[in-house]
Chains A and B, each alone.
Chain A
Amino acid sequence: MSEREYPVAGASVEPRKLTIPRARSVARFAQSGTNPNVNLLSCYGSRDDGTEAVTVDISATVPQRPAYDIRRTERILIVFDRDDSQCPWVESLRKDFPRTPHTNLTAPGKPRSLCLYDQPWEDVRTTLTAPKLISRIMWWLEGTAAGTLHGDDQLLEPLLFDPQLDLIIPSDLLTGSDTDEPIPLTCFRMGISLQLIRTSVVTDMGADIPQGGSCLALMVNCEPQLHGVVQATPRTLEDLHDLLLPAGVDLMEVLRERLEDSEEESGLEDVSLILLVRLPKLRVAEGEVERVELRAFAVATPISAILDEAGRCAADADAGESQPSGNEIGLVPLNPRPGFSRELAAEVNGESCADSSPVIAVGVGALGSQVVSNLARGGFGQWTLVDNDLLLPHNLGRHALGGQYVGVPKAAGLAHMLSVNTDAPPIACWVPIDVLREAAQSDQPKVDWKPGRVILDMSASVAVARHLCHDVESSARRVSLFLNPSGTALTLLSEDVARSVPLDLLEMQHYRALVSDPDLRDLLAPSSTMRSGVGCRDVSTQIPQDLVGLFSGIGSRAVRRALGTDEAQVSTWKVDESNYSVVHTPVEVTDVSSRKKNGWRMFWDAQLECKLRRYRKEKLPNETGGVLIGAFDMDRRIIYVVDATEAPADSEECRSGFLRGLESLQEEIDAVQLATSGMLGYIGEWHSHPTGNVTPSSRDRNVIRWVEETLNDEGQVGVVGIAGSKQKLNFIPCGTALFQ
């Protein structure tokens, strides 16, 4: 160990003795010589924290005079977490490795750690292989050496880690109740009005929102009166006492009776009193109560003082004195309005009835918050909102929440807003977790997935959608709603009631449409982004709120309609920005088939089968073939076979065999990758057999071996497909994903 290098903890072991799969595959890859720029030095096991580590020398494209002192070959330590729950930790072992942008914060005197990815680890993990990890480190070293890794629009990295505390000022409205018991409420001062919410709701919010002033609301029910009884506005408690006497209420007596119990429970020194006075009104004496008038008064004195006064009044009265001194206690008169109920919401939205179906919404960012807000305002849904992001100032441009929620978890803020918008009981609860880490973090709150009728994914994350589709136990339909990167289109993927075509396969059929439909081809074109903070992942796309508003409107209506039918649906709406017209492009959902072999599950659908049959038939009696397009989920060992190309023009097709050519193939694959933003790509080869025998021939086994070898270098597996007569089809997964 050189003095210029940091030592590595743990015992040196053989690569094959590593027990963490990702560590072993990186070690084996580095050893294989497949990438000549990486050289395995040592492997380390038995480390205190249970991790394993690999040291390598990595050579990158580093110029003579780099922007930062990066060397042509750097000694790198890669540390692997036992449960793969975080990105491999990548450090330079060189003690004089420079301070550069895109390094993780480490203590002085510790090795510098490279920050490799600006996406969440969950998104990276599904496709990360050892070759890709090494390439990424090379990319980091090259970009840092060239000084181009740090985007021009990014703020300078912080010198010190300085988390900031956000100050929150929530809002509310008045609620009404028939109970005689004092109602614990929390009172907030908003502008020139006071707003009340049920303390139970506030408690639900957890400690994230600072509590407002505690208060008790006291409902005072008067006897029915002819209308017009309260003509003057009382300014003191004494005024009100006098005013209510004709309505059969001795206010001081009521206060003493009801508040004394409360006083024993808790100290009321700081608790204010809100008086809600119900005055049933009669048009004519002895007639029916036509209307209940609600009057409210805030008492500007702590309850303990009120009790003193009430007690003194009673004593005075007992002593026969006629002049109570209650005029010292001031009142603030309020103009109460009825709360917003689910029924009222449905009514003002023109819906025939309110719908309290349980819905679990995952992701309440710009689109999610507005869609949920639209639906809830229409009286739809009993919501569980799942999101662990905090609302930050830059979110205000496109979020349903306002500035008073800055610093609060978005889910909490939205649940709060929806619940306080609506009369009790609350229509939304919230779970501040990252669903991808739910299982890993046992101390975190859990989502109860089972009762959901719908799991509505608006997370804008493929990893989350896949997780909801595969890893969450619930019979609920999964529905995904997402915008394209430039915000000019909205896509809805909605499962059928029976979930016969699950969400991930709807996703694949959507990607195929992006390739085949010229109207959708530029859908995933990258958009401009902006930096919202100094971290690598603080990237926000620049999409106008107008478009988010437009598409959350379409989205919420489309979700409601999709849930009104039993069928699956894949739809895209795209706006023409020259005249703001929106075009709807539905994609026909076709049935899917699957097969399990060699530990891999393969999925394909009827449309692909149809295509392969047609290509085969056109060339009979000769064989034909082409390449297969699709995607992998390395995590779940799934291969999606999505599409196939026709034989390139320079292929050799004859009765006894097929040799796939090359002409225009690269362009075609490039177009697929471009249109799907890399979600679909080459996954293997297919060809036809003239008979119904679709088992691989000895020649075919050469193809299988070739696909294995070719894709192994990329850490991938592949597929070879054989199409025969009588609609027979055989997909064979090949390869061992050696470097996965």
Chain B
Amino acid sequence: MTAKVRFFPIGNADTCVIDADGRKYVFDFAAPTPQGGDDLRIDLAKTLRAELKREKRDRVDVVSFSHLDTDHFAGASEFFHLEHARKYQGKGRIRIREMWVPAAAILESKWDQSKEGRIIQAEARHRLKEGKGIRVISKPEVLDDWLRKQGIDPKTRRENIVGAGNLMPGYRLQKTGIEFFVHAPFSDQRDESEVDRNGESTVFHVTIKDGSDDVRLLLTGDTPYDVLARIVKTTERAGNDDRLEWDIIKVPHHSSYTSLGPKKGKKITEPVPSVRRLYEEYGDDDGVIVSPSKIIPSTDEIQPPHKQAAAYYETSAKKVGADFVVTMEYPTKKDPKPLGLKISGMGHGVAIERSAPSRPAAVIAQPPRAG
């Protein structure tokens, strides 16, 4: 089985598309509207729509939102067919077989939600009420109150709820060629009085079959360092070290230093020890570290990406022979393109897809007007 993992040059925003065994999985969906000029982000919605049309698909198997920040769902309400209102249905919209969200996406209510955030939440809530096409990452009891308020017996929704430390149901490596282990959010993390979306982002460890071997992908959210550290320690304690090993790792929060340690540092962010272990001990040889972010700045900035964090990722990449790839810098800063990570199915591991140019052939581009 061949498989492909893709990241896209969409600025400080997350989207990871996995194609494996004929299925398509979308982890976060942030489709920018490129402004032209210096804005080199790609039109993700257009790219994916064309791809699905080519593949004669009108649906994807999974759309997972790590948390409800705009840079993880922008444009989703225009791209996908949503079950909860007619308004979000119609020709050209892509159906979602199963939607995955953290519990916070159902429960959060009073904060800085954008309009689109509320639409995504409405869809998740609708699906949970219907009990179809949804998995919520949480401890079962956390959602009980909310369900009762909707007049639903919580017991009837148990199968829609998956706790940390489990595999997403329906996917087993031997059967589907891919499986998803849930690291976060932790079930005890939810504190209704205080909301920390980043802290409650989902973190998945994905295993993809590659012949007699496997390729492992760690998909973080905007996970802060303390949560990441806790994931490492908890998993080690449970003896599940293999669920920390990676060939591909998506670094959290667009290379923000806050996902490595408490202090930004001057030249390099020093990670807390367990986070350091994640990067330096659990990374297999010659893997890939992906930062879905803008170009790494040469100056000290307040917003990510932070050059100090990137400096650490570069250093750790060298230690394990990995490539550190920034989505807006691949293959060149001048002309970024989607990053394809190819898994041949022959046990060779992951390869960064390199192809010769680039510009669409004349027959799939439109010439200027003739007169």
Q: Which residue of A lies closest to B369 (CB)?
A: A659
Q: A65-B348, A134-B356, A623-B370 are in contact. Are A36 and B335 (CB under 8 A)?
A: yes
The answer to whether B357 touches A35, judged by C-beta atoms less than 8 angstroms apart, is yes
What chain B residues lie within 8 Å of A665 (beta carbons)?
363-364
| B352 in the interface (beta carbon within 8 A) | yes
The answer to whether A666 touches B363, judged by C-beta atoms less than 8 angstroms apart, is yes
| B156 in the interface (beta carbon within 8 A) | no
Chain B: minimal CB distance from A149 (Å)? 13
What chain B residues lie within 8 Å of A697 (beta carbons)?
370-371
Q: Which residue of A lies closest to B54 (CB)?
A: A666
Q: A37-B331, A710-B365, A713-B359 are in contact. Are A63 and B350 (CB under 8 A)?
A: yes
The answer to whether B355 touches A61, judged by C-beta atoms less than 8 angstroms apart, is yes
| A402 in the interface (beta carbon within 8 A) | no
What chain B residues lie within 8 Å of A134 (beta carbons)?
356
What chain A residues lie within 8 Å of B343 (beta carbons)?
63
A134 to B337, CA, bound (A): 19
The answer to whether B350 touches A64, judged by C-beta atoms less than 8 angstroms apart, is yes
A669 to B360, CA, bound (A): 14
| B19 in the interface (beta carbon within 8 A) | no
The answer to whether B362 touches A625, judged by C-beta atoms less than 8 angstroms apart, is no
| A703 in the interface (beta carbon within 8 A) | yes
The answer to whether B354 touches A37, judged by C-beta atoms less than 8 angstroms apart, is yes
A501 to B323, CA, bound (A): 57
Q: Interface readout for A110-148 with B: 1 if CB under 8 Å, 0 if not? A: 000000000000000000000100110010001001110
What chain A residues lie within 8 Å of B346 (beta carbons)?
67, 146-147
A687 to B371, CA, bound (A): 8
Q: Which residue of B lies closest to A60 (CB)?
A: B354
Binding site for A on B (CB under 8 A): 213, 247, 284-287, 323, 331-332, 334-335, 337, 342-344, 346-359, 361-371
The answer to whether B371 touches A700, judged by C-beta atoms less than 8 angstroms apart, is yes
- Give the secondary structure class of B's interface: loop
A657 to B284, CA, bound (A): 58
| A726 in the interface (beta carbon within 8 A) | no
A271 to B281, CA, bound (A): 86
A662 to B286, CA, bound (A): 41
Q: Which residue of B lies closest to A37 (CB)?
A: B354
The answer to whether B354 touches A703, judged by C-beta atoms less than 8 angstroms apart, is no
What chain A residues lie within 8 Å of B331 (beta carbons)?
36-37, 59
| A731 in the interface (beta carbon within 8 A) | no
The answer to whether A657 touches B362, judged by C-beta atoms less than 8 angstroms apart, is no
Kindly identify which residue among B356, B363, B366 contacts A138, using a CB–CB cutoff of 8 Å: B356
The answer to whether A61 touches B352, judged by C-beta atoms less than 8 angstroms apart, is yes
The answer to whether A64 touches B371, judged by C-beta atoms less than 8 angstroms apart, is no
Q: A35-B356, A64-B284, A64-B285 are in contact. Are A145 and B348 (CB under 8 A)?
A: yes
The answer to whether B363 touches A658, judged by C-beta atoms less than 8 angstroms apart, is no
Q: Which residue of B lies closest to A687 (CB)?
A: B370
A131 to B364, CA, bound (A): 19
The answer to whether B351 touches A131, judged by C-beta atoms less than 8 angstroms apart, is no
Within 8 A of B (CB), among A556-606: none
A606 to B369, CA, bound (A): 27
Q: A61-B354, A63-B349, A145-B348 are in contact. Are A682 and B361 (CB under 8 A)?
A: yes
What chain B residues lie within 8 Å of A627 (beta carbons)?
362-363
Kindly identify which residue among B284, B342, B351, B363 contacts A669, using a CB–CB cutoff of 8 Å: B363
Q: A59-B354, A61-B352, A64-B284 are in contact. Are A702 and B369 (CB under 8 A)?
A: yes
The answer to whether B367 touches A63, judged by C-beta atoms less than 8 angstroms apart, is no
What chain B residues lie within 8 Å of A142 (beta carbons)?
351, 354
Chain A: minimal CB distance from B203 (Å)? 23
